[in-house]
């Protein structure tokens, strides 16, 4: 962790085009954008371009608890980088920034996500939650 940022990563055994599509296509986002089996992502909108917005609904199955995960893209380089600023949450002084890099390796596509932490949960809890979602993405993408 550097500059108070949190980093999670994985390697997905799939072609970069498939990884990019699963990451950015709303039909796929709803299949992986949650951290546990008792949660779901019933809807997602994604306009993947600089200045474009995204909104993914993440909620407990049965909708007893949930939130909208949304923000604005600040950098998009196809098959390489995505950066965005999340919508400011309660207690956030400024928008939290996220950078995701996609790198083709001999073992598959390495995805590295680095994000500004929020102030409500511990860094370890945030790292664990984001890693679980990234692991869910890997499992979903490799199963297609």
pLDDT tens digits along 92-132 = 788 999 999 999 999 999 999 999 998 888 999 999 999 99
Q: What dihedral angle (degrees, nearest 10) is formed by the CA atoms of 108, 111, 112, 117? A: -150
Q: What is the pTM of this model?
A: 0.94
Helix (H) or strand (E) holding 142: helix 123-143
Q: What is the pLDDT of residues 5-54, one digit of tens each?
A: 999 999 999 999 999 999 999 999 999 999 999 999 999 999 999 999 99
Q: What dihedral angle (degrees, nearest 10) is formed by the CA atoms of 14, 57, 127, 48? A: 50
Q: What is the pLDDT of residues 55-78, one digit of tens each?
A: 999 999 988 899 999 999 999 999
Helix (H) or strand (E) holding 60: strand 53-60
Reading the block at residue 117, the tokens are 């932490």
The fold adopted by the segment(s) 6-143 is Alpha-D-Glucose-1,6-Bisphosphate; Chain A, domain 4 (3.30.530)
Is the dihedral angle over the CA atoms 53, 70, 103, 116 positive or is it negative?
positive
The pLDDT value given to residue 104 = 97
The pLDDT value given to residue 21 = 98
* Residue ranges of domains in the chain: 6-143
């Amino acid at each position: 962790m550097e500059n108070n940022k949190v980093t999670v990563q994985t390697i997905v055994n799939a072609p970069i085009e498939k990884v990019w599509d699963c990451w950015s296509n709303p039909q796929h986002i709803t299949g992986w954008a949650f951290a546990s089996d008792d949660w779901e992502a019933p809807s997602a909108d994604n306009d993947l371009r600089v200045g474009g917005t995204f909104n993914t609904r993440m909620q407990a199955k049965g909708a007893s608890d949930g939130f909208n995960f949304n923000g604005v893209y600040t950098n998009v380089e196809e098959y390489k980088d995505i950066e965005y600023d999340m919508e400011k949450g309660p207690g956030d002084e400024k928008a939290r920034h996220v950078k995701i890099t996609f790198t083709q390796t001999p073992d598959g596509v390495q995805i590295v996500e680095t994000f500004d932490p929020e102030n409500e949960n511990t860094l370890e809890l945030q790292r664990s939650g984001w890693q679980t979602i990234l692991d869910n993405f890997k499992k979903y993408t490799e199963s297609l």
